[in-house]
Amino acid sequence: TEKRLLRVEPGRIKVLYVDGYPRYEYRFLKNSLLRFSNVEAQCLLLDASPEFIQESTEGVPALTRFPYDANQPDKNQLLDYHVVIFGDVHPADLGADTDKILGQVKEFVEAGGGFLMQAGQRDAPREYAGTPIADILPVLLGDRETEWAAVDEGPFRPVLERPRDPNEVVTLHPDLD
């Protein structure tokens, strides 16, 4: 058994969760984040009406917009967070300064921040091709024509690379037989 060191930070993790519309994944993840005692979460649902009070951890102010100040474009407010999560968000829904905002997301990641993007039926990640964050996504973003022209090879079946010596992540029981 291999031993690994783990450093546990005593403070709370600050999370910004942005989603485009109230889909199941939004409700599930938002509720989970708000339940954890070691997480300070601020959620932003972009298609909500202006009267909707955005949800956040108790004692943490609710957001009214994406944390970006057009009057101070050089100040990256995302650096106040540890993790930024994008749900199924169209880049244009972030505001008028979409490229600057996405540039700040990339800067945030390059400074050591965590970034997660959930794929969605509407916009993510396809709409991020050619944007500043395309390089930090762990997928290759193709165009619709190429994707539709791909040949359907039937259902996907994962195969272990080393079935007799699998990685511990895919081992459900220590006895391989």
Contact 133, 105 (CB under 8 A): yes
Q: Would you state the torsion angle of the CA atoms of residues 52, 57, 63, 67, taken in this order, to the nearest 10 degrees?
A: -150
Mean pLDDT of the chain: 87
Predicted local distance difference test score (pLDDT) of residue 6:
74
Encoded tokens for 51: 């009267």
Is the pLDDT higher at 177 or at 151? 177
Contact 85, 78 (CB under 8 A): no
Is the confidence at residue 7, as pLDDT, over 70?
yes
What is d(CA 24, CA 30) in angstroms, rounded to the nearest whole number? 10
pTM: 0.77
**Bridging pattern class, strands 83-86 and 39-45:** unpaired
Burial of 154 (0-12, 13-18, 19+ CB in 10 A): exposed
Strands (E) across the chain are located at 13-19, 39-45, 83-86, 114-117
Q: Lowest-confidence range among 38-42, 66-70, 145-149, 161-165?
A: 145-149
Q: Rounded to whole angstroms, what are the CA distances from 133 to 57, 91, 148?
A: 27, 10, 24
Is the pLDDT higher at 11 or at 20? 20
What is the residue whose two structure tokens read 């022209």?
149
- The arithmetic mean of pLDDT across residues 66-88, rounded, is 92
Is the pLDDT higher at 161 or at 34? 34
Contact 42, 16 (CB under 8 A): yes
Q: How many Cα neighbours within 13 Å face the side chain of 134?
A: 12
What is d(CA 171, CA 163) in angstroms, rounded to the nearest whole number? 10
Predicted local distance difference test score (pLDDT) of residue 142:
67
Is the confidence at residue 9, as pLDDT, over 70?
no
Encoded tokens for 112: 């050591």
Strand order in the sheet with 83-86: 39-45, 13-19, 83-86, 114-117
pLDDT in tens, 125-176: 888 988 999 989 887 776 666 665 566 677 877 788 887 888 777 777 777 7
